[in-house]
Structure 1
């Protein structure tokens, strides 16, 4: 029984670390979208100056 409990705890820990990496991946995707929006904004300012 003790071995089974240790095995379950290790699975839960690995699942938590997987969720953290997924969250960090979503954050990097959001930051990428923000940079894309900034690029569009700079394009608009370039048209205005022209």
Structure 2
């Protein structure tokens, strides 16, 4: 009887650990998502700058 209880406890512990791992991997993917969003903002800013410089060169011509 105690063996059955021990096996149940082990199964619960394993599922808890796997749940923590999936949570950590979820946080990592969220961080990488934030990084890609930041890089996207940077490329948008550089795009605006090139557009402004293009307008200036058009005015000069």
TM-score in terms of structure 1 length: 0.91
Total equivalences in the alignment: 50
1:10-47, Cα deviation, whole Å (9 max, x unpaired): 00000000010011111111111100000000011112
1:15 maps to which of 15, 18, 23: 23
Distance 2:40 2:23 in 1: 26
User: Which structure has the larger Rg over C-alpha atoms?
Assistant: 2
> What is residue 48 of structure 1 aligned with on the other side?
56
Following TM superposition, where does structure 1 have runs of at least 4 consecutive aligned residues deviating by more than 4 angstroms?
A: none
**Could you state the TM-score of these two structures normalised by the residue count of structure 2?**
0.77
